[in-house]
Structure 1
Amino acid sequence: MSPLIADDLSIDETMLTVDGLRLRVLMAGEGPPVLLLHGFAVNADDWRPTIARLVKAGYQAIAPDLLGFGRSDKPGGDAYSLHHYADLHAGLLDALGLDQVALVGHSMGGKLALATTILHPTRITRVLIADSEGFMQIPLFMRKGGTLPWLGEAILSLTSRPGLIRMQLNAAFANPQQYVTPELIERGRQTLSDPGVRQTMLALSRSYASTDLKASGLWPRLAAIKQPILIIWGAEDRMFPVKYAQLAHQALPGAQLVVIPNCGHFPMIEADAAFHGMLLGFLAGAER
């Protein structure tokens, strides 16, 4: 276990084996535990500012690299189903000796947070999802691309091109001129050039039926979630437009929805104060 320093905060980085698979996990703080699930094609480091906020407020923050991303194992095949991810997250809690956690998920991590809550409801106390995947119909070329070898490989060959990365990042932020830097583009290029990550992307495309809330059969169970749920969405998210926040709210009738103005797909970055204020307020509700 090696400590990584973010500002004046010491974050422990460790590799844990869960169900025979190694997961890189960032951990810091003491107090009620909060599990943070990142989005597609990034890693747990995206949560470092959130980890700092949680630790300062008296929580234990736990942020794994999702299976298939970052420095976690990338087994390929059918390992990326919603059911398997949910079981891995429950197994991670077992490995850490935790009975229950509050769960926070962004983008793809939001979909996984909901699946984990549905399939392991006794382990989750409350759920926050931000600009969540799972409510927008995935384009046909993405759903079918992985099943056609030539198309899947062709799509992958384009993903690491700096011009395409810049275009995607510009769509992710309401104010791209402030956030889309050469350093961020290079970080994206390095991630999307990783052969393991590229194979994860292809495997996810080939496993659409098991990675989609509707196709997997989990969609009807969303309405039965009993835990408190907060949905946060950037009003200017051009990746998952805000109309899908309304669809999420309809599918989760007991949830609270907050739309942040002048904010894109990454509210924890672009609306730092607002997002973390709402997160901490939501978590504090568990203690009253």
Structure 2
Amino acid sequence: MKFKFLIGLFFLTLGSFAQREQLQWLDINLSNYDYPYPVHFIPVNIQQQELKMEYMDVKPDNYNGKNILLLHGKNFNGAYWKTTIEALTKKGFRVIVPDQIGFGKSSKPDNFQYSFQQLAQNTKQILDSLGIKKTAVLGHSMGGMVATRFALLYPEVTEKLILENPIGLEDWKLKVPYKNVDWWYKNELKQSYEGIKKYQLESYYDGKWKPEYDQWVNLLAGWTLNSDFKKIAWNSALAYDMIFTQPVVYEFQNIKVPTLLIIGTRDRTALGKPLVTEEIRNTMGLYSVLGKETQKKIANSKLVEIPNIGHMPHIESFDKFIQPLTAFLEK
């Protein structure tokens, strides 16, 4: 048994080495990486800077008059919504998918004061430029925190809110010691292909890797080969500080729009786990509990739990994700 385990570990390591050797250098704004649909940019003049924010706008021929905004997580960009865009446009929905400032193909500022209010406001600028007055808003992971803030700031625009394994369902400041931006920055500078894959394997997929997951590792790891990686790491550190210091958990009761929670119950994602004891760590990121607690806080909300699925339902178990989503949108 032990021999078989060691053989399996050997081939996994060998595969990781081969993948790393083929790793593609990526431009700081992913200009040498193709998104699944045409990309557009709007100028965002904020904080005394002229920045660019990228988005995809996919309007089907059978447009049903309904729109949906898809907001990405911290370790991702709009490209990972490909299959979700395909499914929703087949149903007639117009789908708008931005990359937040500091992520994907959008600008990476030298300095930026990150806040969920600012990201929500930037996102609203895209809708305004397209003349979109009403939309459903779906946020995954960190995107769930952005989506929550968007719904609170713009209830007149938000027709429905969907939160897919959002982070921020608990206040980590109550359990985890504060680390400043410089600490997060030094931590980000240590990123590598092996480290990124190990984190995603353990945190997202419960140790069960599929070849199609490689692309999401490569998108982050390819940046580590870039001479501008320090700027990418700095923006990532600023975003971590935003996530840690700006909880939305205390405002769920203020959400007024119809809300759907899609929760993979195997998820244990929580910021700062390595900084606490095992006893405290075991109380963090319990999505099988957090989903139910959050559903009780949001009036007019529905909870759909997906057993034995982790942080990435729309990647790991697409059919179980898209069915409740489309049913909720078509009501």
TM-score normalised by the chain length of structure 1: 0.84
The alpha carbon displacement at 1:47 in A equals 0.6
Q: 2:141 aligns with which of 107, 118, 121?
A: 107
Distance 1:69 1:142 in 2: 26
Pick from 151, 167, 173 the counterpart of residue 198 of structure 2.
167
Aligned pairs for 1:52-201 (under 5 A) are 52-75=86-109, 77-138=111-172, 144-147=178-181, 149=182, 151-158=183-190, 160-170=191-201, 171-174=203-206, 176-178=208-210, 182-191=214-223, 194-201=229-236
Of residues 98-107 and 193-202 in structure 1, the stretch that sits farther from structure 2 once superposed is 193-202
C-alpha change, 1:201 and 1:247, in structure 2 (3 Å) is: farther
RMSD: 2.5
The partner residue of 1:23 within 43, 46, 53 is 53
2:293 to 236, 243, 247: 247
Distance 2:54 2:319 in 1: 28
Provide Cα deviations, 1:218-263, integer angstroms capped at 9, x if missing partner. x23x213221100001121132431222232233243111110121
Give TM-score, length-normalised by structure 2. 0.74
1:115 positional shift: 0.3
Q: Secondary structure at the match of 2:210?
A: helix
Question: Which 5+ residue runs of structure 2 have no aligned equivalent?
Answer: 1-33, 270-284
The aligned counterpart of 2:238 is: 203
Cα distance in structure 2, aligned partners of 1:232 and 1:162: 29
Matched, 1:212 2:258: no
Give, in angstroms, the shift of residue 196 of structure 1. Answer: 3.4
> Within 2, Cα distance between the matches of 1:137 and 1:167?
25
Measured after TM superposition, the shift of residue 207 of structure 1 is: 4.2
Residue 34 (structure 1) aligns with: 68
Counterpart CA distance in 2 for 1:277 and 1:28 is 20
What letter matches 1:241 in structure 2? L
Q: Are residues 273 and 12 of structure 1, via their aligned partners in 2, closer, same or farther at CA, if it must alter by over 3 Å? A: same
Percent sequence identity over aligned pairs: 24
User: Post-superposition shift, 1:210?
Assistant: 5.9
**Structure 1 residue 187: deviation in Å?**
2.9
**What is the alpha-carbon distance in structure 2 between the residues aligned to residue 245 and residue 122 of structure 1?**
25
* Distance across 1 between alignment mates of 2:304 and 2:291: 9
Moved more, 96-105 or 15-24: 15-24
How much has 1:86 moved relative to structure 2?
A: 1.6
Alpha-carbon distance in 2 for matches of 1:251, 1:76? 38
Q: CA separation in 1, counterparts of 2:177 and 2:80?
A: 26
> For the pair shown, which has the larger CA radius of gyration, 1 or 2?
2
